[in-house]
C-alpha cells in the first residue's frame, strides 16, 4: 500500500466541523474547488513557474484524451498517470495556490483513470483533510476515495492478500456460526470512505446528472449499500441491519431485492423472527409507496418486481410461522395457521404440504375429524402428490386407532390400488391385516399377513415383524380349517432369514414343527 488513513476519527471530526453549504465555512471564494471546470488555460496563472507546470499538465491531458478517443487505452493511461503526478506535485509545491484543491482532486481523478487506484486514494485523502476544501469538494473526494479503495481491495483479494467479501443469505450458510469481526484492511477503509461520502452526498454535483453522464455512476444509495454489504460479510449483523434499514428509508426508490434478502437475513442470523416478520410489511409499504410516486416507467417496473418478490417472501414467512408453531408443540394454533395459509394462497406450491401439516397438527391436538377432513381434501385436490400418498395410510391408521376398522380397511385397500409401489406399501399391508384381524375376518387377515411376510422387500425391512405375522397367519388358517394355507404360512415363517427376536426365533421352530404336521 502507498497510502495510509490518518485515523477515521480525525477525518470524521474535521468533517463534522465543516459547513453544510457548498462553499464551506470561512473558505475564500477565490479557491477553485473540485467542481471547477478543468483544465484551466495556462494564462490563468501569473507566476511563470506555475504556468510552466500547467502547460505540462495540459499537454498530457490533451494527449490522454486523444489517445482514449482513438482506442489506444494503454497510451491514454500512461498520459493520465503523468498528468496526475504533475497535478499532485503542483498541489504539494504550491499549496497556497487558489488552484491547489482543484488540482488535488484531479490528481486523484486521473490516477483513477490511469488504473493507479492506491495513488488515487492517497490524493483524495489529502483533499479530505485540506481546510481549504469545501464540503462539495470533500463529497466528491470521498466518493472517489471509496471507489478507488474498492479497486485496491479487489486487487488485494485477487492477489490472495485480503479476505474476499462473500454475500450469502442466511439459508446458504449451512449453519456456520457467526464470527463478527472488523472488516480487515482495505475493506475497513472502503466502509469509512462510504460513511464520509454519505454524510456529504447531497452536496455532490455529480448526483444531478444521469448515471451515464457522471464521473462515477454509483448513486449515494449504492455507495451506502456497499458499506452495509461489507459489514454483513464480516458478520457484523447489528451494524449491517441498521445500515440496510437507513438505506431503504433514505432511498426507497432504489431498494434492490438482493439487499432486501441480506437485510432479512440479519434478523435470522440474530434469531429475531419477530423482527423478520415485522420488517416485511414495512418494506412492502415503503416500496409500494415509492412505486406509486415513480414517474419513470423503468423505475416503476423495477419496483413492481421488487414488490412481487417481497410478496413471495411474505408468503414464505406466513408458512414458516405455522411451521414454527408446530415445532413448538402449539398444535391447534399451528393447524389453524397452516389452514389459513392454504386458504389465502391457493396457487402456492406449498399448499399440499400445508394441508398435510395441518392434518398432522389437528391429529396431535386430538381433533380427529378436522384432521380427517383435511386429509380427504388433500387426497381429492392433489391425488398424485407425495403428500396425498402419505396422507391416506395415515388417515387409515388414525381410523383404526379410533376403532373404525371398516373404514381403515377400505382406505388401505384403496391406497394399495393407487400406489402399488409406494414406500408405505409394506406398512399398509401389515396394518390392513391388523384391521381385518380386529374385525374378526380371520382368513382375510391371514391372507394379508402372508402377503406381508412373503414379500421380499417387506420381509427384508423387518424379519421379526414378518415372522410375527406369518405365525399368526398360520394360526388363523388353522382355526378356519384351511390346513394347506396354514402349512404354507408356517413354512414361510420357518424359512425366514434374519430373525433376531428370541420369541420369534422360538416360534420359527414351532412353525417348522407345525408345517411338518
| Whether pLDDT at 403 is above 80 | yes
- For 75-95, write each residue's pLDDT tens digit: 999 999 999 999 999 999 999
CA–CA–CA angle 267, 269, 270 (5° rounding): 65
Q: Which pLDDT belongs to residue 319?
A: 81
- Sign of torsion, CA 345 348 352 354? negative
CB 180 within 8 A of CB 235: yes
Mean pLDDT, all residues of the chain: 90
Asked if the model's pLDDT at residue 2 lies above 60, the reply is no
Alpha carbon of 121 to those of 125, 186, 196, 215, 393: distances in Å?
6, 11, 14, 16, 69
Residue 294 has pLDDT above 50, yes or no: yes
- What CA–CA distance (Å, rounded) separates 389 from 386? 5
Q: What is the mean pLDDT of residues 493-516?
A: 92
- Summarised one tens digit per residue, pLDDT across range 315-343 is 777 787 788 889 889 999 999 989 998 99
Gap between the Cα atoms of 107 and 221, Å rounded: 26
Is the model's pLDDT at 19 over the cut of 80?
A: no
* CA gap 209, 407 in Å, rounded: 75
Which are the contacts of 330, defined by CB distance < 8 A and separation ≥ 6? none
∠ Cα 60 61 66 (to 5°): 95
175, 264, 267, 269, 325 from 170: Cα distances, Å? 8, 9, 9, 6, 21
Q: Are 351 and 359 in contact (CB under 8 A)?
A: no
Cell of 254: 432504489
pTM: 0.67
d(CA 373, CA 70): 76
Q: CB–CB of 254/296 below 8 Å?
A: no
pLDDT reported for residue 26: 67
Q: Say if residue 2 is exposed, middle or buried (CB neighbours under 10 Å; 0-12, 13-18, 19+).
A: exposed
Which range (52-56, 118-122, 144-148) has the least confidence?
52-56
Identify the H or E element spanning 328: none
What is the band of 25 on the pLDDT scale with cuts at 50, 70, 90? low
Q: What is the pLDDT of residue 407?
A: 96
Q: Does an H or E element contain 370, and which?
A: helix 368-381
pLDDT tens digit string along 163-177?
Answer: 999 999 887 877 788
What are phi and psi for residue 131, nearest 5 degrees?
Answer: -65, -15
What percentage of the chain carries pLDDT values higher than 70?
95
- The answer on pLDDT for 23 being more than 70 is no
Nearest C-alpha neighbor of 142 from the set 20, 55, 224? 224
Tens of pLDDT, residue by residue over 174-228, are 778 899 999 999 999 999 999 999 999 999 999 888 888 888 999 999 999 999 9
Predicted pLDDT of residue 3: 37
Distance of CA 82 to the CA centre of its chain: 45
- Once rounded to an integer, what is the mean pLDDT over residues 103-107? 97
Cα(459)–Cα(426) distance, integer angstroms: 9
> Using CA atoms, how far apart are residues 27 and 205, in angstroms rounded to an integer?
19
- pLDDT tens column, 461-485: 999 999 999 999 999 999 999 999 9
Give the Cα separation of 448 and 272 in Å (integer). Answer: 52
Amino acid at each position: 500500500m502507498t497510502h495510509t488513513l490518518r485515523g477515521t476519527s480525525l477525518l470524521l471530526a474535521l468533517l463534522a466541523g465543516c459547513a453544510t453549504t457548498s462553499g464551506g465555512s470561512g473558505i475564500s471564494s477565490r479557491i477553485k474547488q473540485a467542481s471547477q471546470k478543468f483544465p484551466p488555460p495556462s494564462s490563468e496563472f501569473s507566476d511563470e513557474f506555475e504556468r510552466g507546470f500547467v502547460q505540462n499538465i495540459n499537454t498530457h491531458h490533451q494527449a490522454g484524451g486523444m489517445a482514449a478517443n482513438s482506442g489506444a487505452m494503454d497510451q491514454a493511461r500512461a498520459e493520465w498517470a503523468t498528468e496526475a503526478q504533475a497535478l499532485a506535485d503542483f498541489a504539494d509545491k504550491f499549496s497556497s495556490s487558489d488552484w491547489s484543491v482543484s488540482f488535488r482532486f484531479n490528481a486523484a481523478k486521473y490516477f483513477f483513470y490511469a488504473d493507479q487506484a492506491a495513488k488515487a486514494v492517497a490524493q483524495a485523502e489529502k483533499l479530505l483533510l485540506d481546510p481549504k476544501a469545501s464540503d462539495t469538494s470533500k463529497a466528491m473526494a470521498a466518493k472517489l476515495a471509496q471507489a478507488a479503495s474498492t479497486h485496491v481491495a479487489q486487487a488485494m483479494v485477487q492477489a490472495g492478500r485480503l479476505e474476499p467479501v462473500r454475500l450469502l443469505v442466511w439459508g446458504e450458510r449451512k449453519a456456520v456460526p457467526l464470527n463478527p469481526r472488523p472488516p480487515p484492511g482495505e475493506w475497513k477503509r472502503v466502509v469509512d470512505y462510504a460513511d464520509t461520502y454519505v454524510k456529504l452526498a447531497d452536496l455532490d454535483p455529480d448526483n444531478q446528472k444521469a448515471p451515464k453522464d457522471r464521473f462515477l455512476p454509483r448513486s449515494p444509495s449504492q455507495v451506502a449499500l456497499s458499506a452495509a454489504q461489507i459489514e454483513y460479510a464480516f458478520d457484523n449483523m447489528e451494524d449491517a441491519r441498521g445500515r440496510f434499514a437507513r438505506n431503504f428509508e433514505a432511498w426507497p426508490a432504489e431498494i434492490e431485492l438482493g439487499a432486501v434478502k441480506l437485510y432479512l437475513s440479519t434478523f435470522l442470523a440474530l434469531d429475531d423472527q419477530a423482527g423478520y416478520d415485522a420488517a416485511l410489511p414495512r418494506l412492502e409499504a415503503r416500496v409500494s409507496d415509492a412505486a406509486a410516486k415513480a414517474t419513470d416507467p423503468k423505475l416503476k417496473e423495477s419496483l413492481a418486481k421488487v414488490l412481487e418478490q417481497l410478496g413471495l417472501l411474505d408468503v414464505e414467512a406466513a408458512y414458516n410461522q405455522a411451521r414454527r408453531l408446530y415445532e413448538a408443540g402449539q398444535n391447534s394454533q399451528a393447524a389453524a395457521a397452516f389452514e389459513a395459509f392454504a386458504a389465502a394462497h391457493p396457487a402456492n406450491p406449498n399448499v399440499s404440504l400445508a394441508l398435510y401439516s395441518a392434518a398432522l397438527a389437528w391429529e396431535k391436538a386430538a381433533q380427529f375429524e378436522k384432521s380427517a377432513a383435511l386429509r380427504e381434501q388433500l387426497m381429492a385436490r392433489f391425488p398424485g402428490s407425495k403428500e396425498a400418498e402419505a396422507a391416506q395410510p395415515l388417515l387409515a391408521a388414525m381410523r383404526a386407532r379410533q376403532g373404525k376398522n371398516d373404514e381403515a380397511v377400505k382406505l388401505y385397500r384403496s391406497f394399495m390400488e393407487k400406489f402399488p409401489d409406494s414406500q408405505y406399501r409394506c406398512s399398509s399391508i401389515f396394518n390392513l391385516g391388523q384391521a381385518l384381524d380386529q374385525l374378526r375376518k380371520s382368513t382375510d387377515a391371514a391372507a394379508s399377513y402372508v402377503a406381508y411376510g412373503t414379500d421380499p422387500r417387506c420381509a427384508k425391512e423387518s424379519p421379526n415383524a414378518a415372522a410375527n405375522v406369518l405365525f399368526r397367519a398360520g394360526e388363523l388358517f388353522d382355526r378356519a380349517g384351511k390346513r394347506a394355507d396354514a402349512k404354507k404360512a408356517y413354512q414361510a415363517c420357518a424359512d425366514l432369514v434374519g430373525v433376531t427376536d428370541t420369541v420369534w426365533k422360538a416360534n420359527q421352530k414351532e412353525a417348522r414343527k407345525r408345517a411338518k404336521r
